[in-house]
Amino acid sequence: MLKTLQIPLLLIFLLVLGCKDQENTKDSDARMQQVMEIHDEAMPRMGELSKLVGEMKSRIDSTERGQEYAEAMEELQEAHQDMMDWMQNFGDRFEPDEIINGKELSEEKKEWLLEEEEKIKAVRENINSSIKMARELLETDTIQ
C-alpha cells in the first residue's frame, strides 16, 4: 500500500516542480521584456541627445550662462555614454537567444536581469532629465 501511494505522490511532486519552473521561466521572460521595453523607450531619444549637444556646444563661452550650457552638454553626453555602456554590458551578460527568444536563464542570470532592470531605469532617467534640463535652458533664452 505504501508503494502505491509513493508513485502518485512522486508524480504530484514532479508536476508541482515542473509548474514552478514554468512560472519562473514566465517571470524571467516578462522581466526581460520589461527591460527591453525600457530600453526601447529610451533609445529613440539618443538622436535628440545628440542634437541638443550640438545646440549646447554652439552656446558655450566664458560667461556664466555659457558655463550653464557647458554643464548641460556634459549631462547630455554622460546620458548618451550611459546608454552605450549599458547596452555593451547587457550584451556581454546575455546571449541573443535569451534576449530575443526567451531562452531560459540560469539563476545567476536571473539575478543579473534584476540588476540590469535597475540600471536601465537609471539610464532612462538620466536621458530624460538631461534632455529636460537642456530644453529648459534653451527655452529661457528664447523668452528673454
In a domain, 75, yes or no: yes
Task: Report the distance separating Cα 120 and Cα 112, nearest Å.
Answer: 12
pLDDT in tens, 68-101: 999 999 999 999 999 999 999 999 999 999 999 9
Q: What is the reported pLDDT for 144?
A: 56
In a domain, 24, yes or no: no
The boundaries of the domain holding residue 43 are 33-143
User: What is the value of pTM for the model shown?
Assistant: 0.79
For a pLDDT cut of 90, what percent of the chain falls above it?
A: 75
pLDDT in tens, 53-73: 999 999 999 999 999 999 999
In a domain, 83, yes or no: yes
For helices 64-93 and 2-42, angle between their N-to-C axes, nearest 10 degrees: 150
In a domain, 5, yes or no: no
Q: What is the DSSP string of 77-103?
A: HHHHHHHHHHHHHHHHHS-HHHHHS-P
In a domain, 11, yes or no: no
In a domain, 80, yes or no: yes
- Report the domain count for the chain: 1
Q: What is the reported pLDDT for 27?
A: 82
Tally Cβ neighbours within 10 Å of residue 125. Answer: 13
In a domain, 26, yes or no: no
In a domain, 66, yes or no: yes
When pLDDT is cut at 50, 70 and 90, the band that residue 13 belongs to is very low
